[in-house]
Amino acid sequence: MKTRPDIEFRFSATGIGSIPSLDARETCLNILKLTPEIPFWPQLVKKSRLEDFFIQFSEGLPLLTIREGAGVLDVSPYGIETALTAFYERFLSEDLEYFKITRDYASGLYELLDIISEDPAGCGRFIKGHTIGPVTFVAGIKGSDGKSMLSNPDLREAYIKGIAIKALWQVRRLEQTGKSPIIFLDEPYLSGFGSAFSPIQRHEVIDMLKEVIDYLRERSNVLIGIHCCGNTDWSMLIETAPDIINFDAFGFMDYFLLYPDAISQFIYDGGFIAWGIVPTSEFTGAETVGELRLRLEKGLTVLKEIGLDTDLITRRSLLTPSCGMGTMDEASSNRVLELLSLLSKDMK
C-alpha cells in the first residue's frame, strides 16, 4: 500500500452500497446530508434487476447474458475463443468506455455525480464507489454444468481482469468530481473462506485480489478498500495490501481482533480500518448512539492494549454500516444512516 500521511479520517462515515430505496435522487441527497465527508453512490437493488450485485458489474464482460425473467447471469458455452479474443483486444488497449457501467445499471452512481457537479463544495474531499470483488464474482458465476468460474481458468482470468478495468473506469468517473476517490472491493463470498464449501486456497484469494489492487494502484491514486461482512481470515486480506479493511464490527469484532499482529502492522504501514459498527442484518431499531459507541470503544481499547497510539488509531479509522442495506426496509435503512452520522459526530 502507499503511505498516505496527508489523510486523516478520524471516524468519518461512509456507506457500503446497497439501499432499498426506489428514488435515486432522494437517496443521494440523503447520503450527502448524512455522510457529507465521504458520500457513496447507492446500489438501488429494489429499483431494477440490473442493479443486482452480479449483474451491475457484468456489462462488457465476455459470454455473460441475463437469464430471461430472472436476476441471474448465464455463461454461454459457445464462441468462447472468439469472445475472449475480442475481450482481450479491448482490455489490452484499456478501452475504458467499452467497460463502463451505464446509467440503467447504476442510476445511483450517475445521480450522485450529477448532484455533486451542481455543487462541488457541498461535500468533503472524498467520494466512495464500490465494485463486486473478483473472488465473489468468479465464485458466483456458474456455467451450464453448474460449476463456478473458479474451475474455469480461462474465463476466471478474463473476469478478474474485467472487474479490474471496470473498477478503473469507475475511478476515472469519480475523479471527475474533483474529489479523491475511494473504491471498495466487496467480497461477501470470503465470509465462508476455509469451510468445506469454499473450494479455493488462501494463495489463490491473495493472487486474485492483488491482481485487481495492483492494476488500480498502477494506474490511479485511488484508495482501495476490501469489505467482507462476515468472519474470514483477516490476515489473508491484510496480506493483499489494500489501503482500507472494512469489517462487521457489530457482529464480528472479537473475530477480527484475533489478528493483533497483522492489524497492528497494517496500521503502522499506513492502513485504515473501516469499522462496520451500525448493524444491518441484526438491526432491531432499538440501537442507540451510546450503545454503539461502547461497542466501538471496546475494539479501540484492544488496539491500544497491543501498543497502538490512540491518536494514530483515530486518524486511521472510518465508520460504516456492518454491510449493505438492500434487504432492509427503507425506514430502517434511513435509521442506520442516521445512527452512523450521529456516531461519527459523537466520536469526532
Instruction: Collect all residues with Cβ–Cβ distance below 8 Å to 47 and sequence separation of at least 6.
Output: 21, 22, 24, 107
Cβ–Cβ under 8 Å, residues 1 and 270? yes
> Given the C-alpha cell 469507475, which residue does it identify?
170
Instruction: Collect all residues with Cβ–Cβ distance below 8 Å to 266 and sequence separation of at least 6.
Output: 238, 245
- CA separation for the pair 37, 20 (Å, rounded): 22
AA identity, residue 98: Y
Q: What would the pLDDT profile of 55-99 be if each residue is shown by its tens digit?
A: 999 999 999 999 876 778 999 989 999 999 999 999 999 999 999
Quick one: how far is CA 320 from the chain centroid?
11
Residue 122: per-residue pLDDT: 87
Please report, for residues 74, 93, 94, 172, the alpha-carbon distance to residue 61 in angstroms, rounded to integers and kept in the order given. Answer: 12, 15, 14, 19
Residue 198: per-residue pLDDT: 66
Ordered structural domains, the chain, with CATH: 12-347 (3.20.20.210)
Residue 146: per-residue pLDDT: 84
- With b for 16 or more beta-carbon neighbours within 10 A and e for fewer, the 230-252 pattern comes to bbbbbebbbbbbbbbbbbbbbbb
- CA separation for the pair 16, 73 (Å, rounded): 23
Q: What would the pLDDT profile of 224-266 be if each residue is shown by its tens digit?
A: 999 999 999 999 999 999 999 999 999 999 999 999 999 999 9
What average pLDDT does range 115-138 have in this prediction?
95
pLDDT at 196 over 60: no
- Which pLDDT band, with edges at 50, 70 and 90, does 195 fall under? low
Residue 72: per-residue pLDDT: 86
What DSSP letter does each residue of 166-218 carry, written as one string?
Answer: HHHHHHHHHHTTTSEEEEEEE-GGGGGTTSTT----HHHHHHHHHHHHHHHHH
Cβ–Cβ under 8 Å, residues 242 and 286? no
Mean pLDDT over each residue of the chain, to the nearest integer: 95
Residue 228: per-residue pLDDT: 97
Q: What does pTM read for this prediction?
A: 0.96
Q: What would the pLDDT profile of 302-343 be if each residue is shown by its tens digit?
A: 999 999 999 999 999 999 999 999 999 999 999 999 999 999
Q: What would the pLDDT profile of 152-193 be if each residue is shown by its tens digit?
A: 999 999 999 999 999 999 999 999 999 999 999 999 999 977
